[in-house]
Chains A and B, each alone.
Chain A
Amino acid sequence: MNRYPLWKYLLLAFALVVGLVYTLPNFFGEAPAVQVSSGKATLKVDASLAGRVEQALQAAGIKPDFVQFEGNSVKARLADTDTQLKAKDALNKAFNTDPSDPSYIVALNLVSRSPHWLARLHALPMYLGLDLRGGVHFLMQVDMKAALTKKAESVAGDIRSTLRDKNIRHAGINREGNIVEVRFRDAETRAAALPVLNDSQPDIVWVDGNASNGDLLLSGSLKPEAVRRVQDAALKQNITTLHNRVNELGVAEPVIQQQGADRVVVQLPGVQDTAKAKDIIGRTATLELRMVDDSVEAAAAAAGGGPVPYGTERYVERGGGPLMVKRQVIITGDSLSDAQPGFDDHQQPAVHLTVDAKGARIMRDVSRENIGKRMAILLFEKGKGEVVTAPVIRGELGARFQISGRMTTQEANDTALLLRAGSLAAPMEIIEERTIGPSLGADNIAKGFASVTYGFAAIAVFMCLYYLLFGMFSTLALAFNLLMLIAVLSMLQATLSLPGIAAIALALGMAIDSNVLINERVREELRGGASAQAAISAGYERAWATILDSNITTLIAGLALLAFGSGPVRGFAVVHCLGILTSMFSAVMFSRGLVNLWYGRQKKLKSVSIGQVWRPDGAPAPGGEAADKA
């Protein structure tokens, strides 16, 4: 009757082992490490950097625990903080030849000390939220109005030149909010203009109207899908720009994510200096298009011989060679409306650029006079310029042109990204900000841990005293529950916050309910006169329906919080829901497994150790201990 089939025991054992393995990384603590990331927008970090880092460290006589490339930085774990400082110095010397213009940022960070084989199983320590780690959290909202206004402005400019090219007279073009209004003096001109406008501006829908002074109007507004596209593009571009900029701070695990349709969450652990973070994030970068100086003097200067000629500046190209670029700016990033990676006519990777009408006019003039010469595109950040790309002008360029030749698809992607990064698509405003000091973070962990430990101990003592052996089984089930909960949280890498630790405590406090239900039921069956084995069986069976019902109602509350919560409360909801699921598994299956293991085989079981089974009429219950005459 109380026997579990072998497969159930194997399942429990498997769950136990998995739980132990995935909880283990949490106990190892953290070790000092150095993190190398790119300091310049044009410099990309890839796996080859890991090899160079290892070589540089070896040359300095430092032996790291491991060097690995993950995300977009290289981390090297070291033995202690002294070695960490030595490593930082060695890497700085090896990689940053010019300290005032560092190509790589070397930062000091902490990395989990858990052994490598665990990491390969994907067993990582729990992801601690900011209120447990210390750091800064921003919620930024993209000013969509400004993005749409910008688009409307550029549309107005484009229409002006389109209508002029097609010789269609208009009485004025102006922008009202996000609507572009084109005025006409008579209906035929308006009718003639409509197909032209529809052709050149496919994203705009035009509506006839009448102006106050009798002129005929065409009001154009962006189609809804176009608005959504502008929104999406603006958000994604801002996120990319933020990624690049946050790299400079050398933060261990920054989080930059989209939240909703127009918000970005930025979390920087370890940084409490919000002023610096805001400064970096709010910075603007500019893009400039200039001609390359190919005169003899310039070539001489590039080779290292002569002085740099007047009206020219020296920059470093992507491959590392010098590039002499004229000082005069042809067009700036404001004129660049889009840059997308793609393919040219020969199916080679290329970057397609689109400039607005004003920019197109300038490009046409300049390119016509400079065919065969090189044009450099520079990105200016923090006052310093870097060469993004320097292609040769092959023909007359217009509003849409492409850069191709000798680049891989990855390079085409990167170049397009950089070109777009030159102008932040829409300004961002900080609507929520949270800073947690480092000592508070450590404090919070200690407090949370203490609450859970002492609460668990109190419950364990009570259960063992009141229910004796069954109480021990219940306590073991509760411990198993805790193990499973932490293992699942570590596996899912769910963010643990202080309310999350409170949720662990609460989940344990609620989980004991199931065991109390079972134990009380068994006692009641014994009181009623059932035999020991029958009492155990009936107790578990009858209690199961009640356990299911009560856990489902608590789960409903948890799910609602999950759906509508955000930030630390969401952490609470996640742990709450997981806690309910693990408690159902552990309280029923695990404790029954233990009971079956202990009592199941004894066919002539006389009594079970479940504490006193008090009978009202004083007679000893068949399955329990004798009660005193109360």
Chain B
Amino acid sequence: MEFFRIRRDIPFMRHALVFNIVSAVTFLAAVFFLATRGLHFSIEFTGGTVSEIHYTQTANLAHVREAVDKLGFGEVQVQNFGTSQDVMIRVPVRSDVKQAEVAQRVFDALCAAEQGQVSTKAVTTPKGEAITRPACTKADGNEPFELARTEFVGPSVGAELAQDGAKALACVVIGIMIYLAIRFEWKFSVAAIIANLHDVVIILGFFAFFQWEFSLSVLAAVLAVLGYSVNESVVIFDRIREAFRRYRKMTTHEVIDHAITSTMSRTIITHGCTQMMVLSMLIFGGPTLHYFAVALTIGILFGIYSSVFVAAAIAMWLGVKREDLIKSGPAKEGGDPNDPNAGAVV
């Protein structure tokens, strides 16, 4: 089985300009959406309280919203989360309310709306672990809903997490640039980083456009994608270096074409495999991992494009030459600078 029956090197670099224009356009679109719509940050960055409630039957969102509005917490978000029985309630940071109590008050209000009584149940699970949990019981003994998860992040912690995220991103960029500059050459380093940051901005642009929730896990996915898509560029640069060594007669243009063509199969297959894993996460991972998997998917797809076409094109435009990568070449052929035939290859 061989999917990639390629007879000749595909002349990619002939279309270098088109590739770069396309990527510039998508880049600008992403920046535009980021600037106008902004990212929908989760409470991990903004601070606030989130409660996830699991109802035994389909949740009545209007009812829930009414109950929570009565508490007077201002702009409260109430929405379905995963299934129709799961409700997520998000309360922003408010200076007049004691933050740590918000979750409890929301729970109480919801219970009152269901005509239930709030109590603390100490139960032993069937496996034998003793747990205590708050419960809302109606007169007939049933529990109309159950508390799945609450999270409260103070505003200072949120700001810190945002800063830490930005520092992590900066670190990754600098680290990768230094490594590539050492391993290959500075032109490749710059080309790789521009191409792959473009990747990151596109993912953020998608998130801004669709207003998907941008949480810490999504940030982790973005950084992982950045590292992963630099992989692609590295594989191609490696091939370029090898081709420069082997095929002395090829121009830079042809060398790059050859490198991309010969690694094409590996690129597509690897991305396909990783995407299969991410698809499995999308399908089976549940709502918590959903946006993480989405970020990875976008990263993998656009990663092929940016790392393969854009990175090499930018390197070419920066004027990369054989001598950049093969530093020991000329010196090895005999060291007499006065010899008029030095460097001649038969």
Q: Are B130 and A108 in contact (CB under 8 A)?
A: yes
Q: Is A609 an interface residue (CB 8 A)?
A: no
Q: Is A558 an interface residue (CB 8 A)?
A: yes
- Closest Cβ of chain B: how far from A84's Cβ, in Å? 5
Contact residue among B124, B147, B176, B285 (Cβ-Cβ distance under 8 Å from A451):
B285
Q: Is A517 an interface residue (CB 8 A)?
A: yes
Q: Are B131 and A110 in contact (CB under 8 A)?
A: no
Q: Are B149 and A436 in contact (CB under 8 A)?
A: yes
Q: Are A569 and B273 in contact (CB under 8 A)?
A: no
Q: In chain A, what residue has the closest Cβ to B130?
A: A108
Q: Looking at the complex, which of B57-65, B202-210, B275-283, B326-334 is the stretch in contact with chain A?
A: B275-283
- Closest Cβ of chain A: how far from B117's Cβ, in Å? 15
Q: Are A84 and B220 in contact (CB under 8 A)?
A: no
Contact residue among B7, B157, B230 (Cβ-Cβ distance under 8 Å from A432):
B157
Q: Is A134 an interface residue (CB 8 A)?
A: yes
Interface code A606-630, partner B: CB below 8 Å = 1, 0 otherwise? 0000011110100000000001001
Q: In chain A, what residue has the closest Cβ to B287?
A: A447
Q: Looking at the complex, which of A47-55, A176-184, A398-406, A545-553 is the stretch in contact with chain B?
A: A545-553
Q: Are A565 and B168 in contact (CB under 8 A)?
A: yes
Q: Are A432 and B153 in contact (CB under 8 A)?
A: yes
Q: Is B171 an interface residue (CB 8 A)?
A: yes
Q: Are A438 and B132 in contact (CB under 8 A)?
A: no
Residues of A within 8 A of B262 (CB): 524
Q: Are B168 and A466 in contact (CB under 8 A)?
A: no
Contact residue among B5, B100, B280, B281 (Cβ-Cβ distance under 8 Å from A614):
B5
Query: B residues 278-311 with Cβ under 8 Å of A?
Result: 278-281, 283-286, 288-289, 292-293, 296
* A437-B133, A447-B285 as given contacts; A549 in contact with B234, CB under 8 Å: yes
Contact residue among B156, B179, B288 (Cβ-Cβ distance under 8 Å from A444):
B288
Q: Is A494 an interface residue (CB 8 A)?
A: no
Report which residue of B8, B157, B180 has the largest number of chain A beta carbons within 10 angstroms of its beta carbon: B157
Q: Are A450 and B284 in contact (CB under 8 A)?
A: yes
- Closest Cβ of chain B: how far from A296's Cβ, in Å? 48
Q: Are A557 and B227 in contact (CB under 8 A)?
A: yes
Residues of B within 8 A of A611 (CB): 1-2
Q: Is A33 an interface residue (CB 8 A)?
A: yes
Give Cα A192 to B125, complex, Å.
72
Query: A residues 507-557 with Cβ under 8 Å of B?
Result: 508-510, 512-513, 516-517, 520, 523-524, 542, 545-546, 549-550, 552-557
Q: Are A33 and B164 in contact (CB under 8 A)?
A: no
Q: Are A81 and B231 in contact (CB under 8 A)?
A: no
- Closest Cβ of chain A: how far from B271's Cβ, in Å? 9
Residues of A within 8 A of B230 (CB): 550, 553-554
Interface code B149-174, partner A: CB below 8 Å = 1, 0 otherwise? 11111101100010011011101100
Given pairs A109-B130, A499-B292, A553-B180, 16 additional interface contacts (CB within 8 A): A30-B129, A84-B128, A139-B157, A270-B130, A271-B131, A430-B100, A430-B152, A433-B103, A434-B149, A435-B150, A498-B289, A502-B281, A513-B231, A553-B176, A553-B227, A576-B224
Supply 10 A–B pairs (Cβ within 8 Å), ascending by A: A272-B132, A276-B120, A435-B149, A498-B288, A549-B238, A565-B216, A567-B216, A569-B217, A573-B220, A616-B6
Interface residues of A (CB under 8 A from B): 30-33, 80-81, 84-85, 107-110, 131, 134, 139, 250, 252, 270-276, 278, 430-440, 443-444, 447-448, 450-452, 454-456, 458-459, 462-463, 465-466, 498-499, 502, 505-506, 508-510, 512-513, 516-517, 520, 523-524, 542, 545-546, 549-550, 552-561, 563-569, 572-573, 576, 611-614, 616, 627, 630
For the complex of A and B, 7 pairs with smallest distance between CB atoms:
A32-B128, A557-B227, A509-B277, A455-B280, A455-B277, A431-B154, A108-B130
Interface residues of B (CB under 8 A from A): 1-2, 5-8, 52, 54, 99-100, 103-104, 120, 124-134, 146-154, 156-157, 161, 164-165, 167-169, 171-172, 175-176, 179-180, 183, 216-217, 219-220, 223-224, 226-228, 230-231, 234-235, 238, 242, 262, 265-266, 269-270, 272-281, 283-286, 288-289, 292-293, 296
